[in-house]
Amino acid sequence: MELNDYARAEALNLSKSAVYNIAEKVALRLGFRPGDDIHDAVEKLNGKVDVEDTLLQDSTRSGSLYVNSPTDFRIVVPVHTSLARDRFTIAHELGHFILHYVYKRQLDPDNAPEKMVALRRDSDVVEWEANWFAAAFLMPKEEFEEQQREHGEDHQAIAQYFGVSPAAARIRAKTLDA
């Protein structure tokens, strides 16, 4: 697989709330509920998740996405991360697939690439959009707010409910309060 064969993911420049809305709708269509196995959601879209140690060579990357066609994509996560971290990374890469590949192809089919790659590197709009997607996909607003009412500031309990890290739960709480 040559990286030169793949176009890089490009930002859509959507608002945070628009990305949240898309993510929650995708989760609903896939029948994905908080705590569900995210691998099942990827498989429903004809993708697969691989765990590789090759990402150890580049410590700035915690995941990658390779799209060969609308029905053939692969998410790669490293061997050295936790299950909660992998869950968020998989949702993040799924965000790249949905936003920067599927949605882009719907918006501009004549200029959308057949193959696309997303290599997690810097903090830019493309990465923000994928992070926003992952947060809303894994932690939908209404259920997150319900968990906050039940557990208050106990981000460990909230994180456990959603199958994410306490850091992810804290960031979600902060962005929903903003």
Domain 3-138 matching CATH 1.10.10.2910: the answer reads yes
Kindly list the domain boundaries of the chain, sorted by start residue.
3-138, 141-178
The pTM of the full predicted model, rounded to 2 decimals, is 0.93
Alpha-carbon gap, residue 154 to 110, rounded angstroms: 48
Q: What is the pLDDT of residues 98-151, one digit of tens each?
A: 999 999 999 999 988 899 999 866 569 999 999 999 999 999 999 999 999 999
Does residue 84 have a pLDDT over 70? Answer: yes
Beta pairing partners, 74:
48, 66
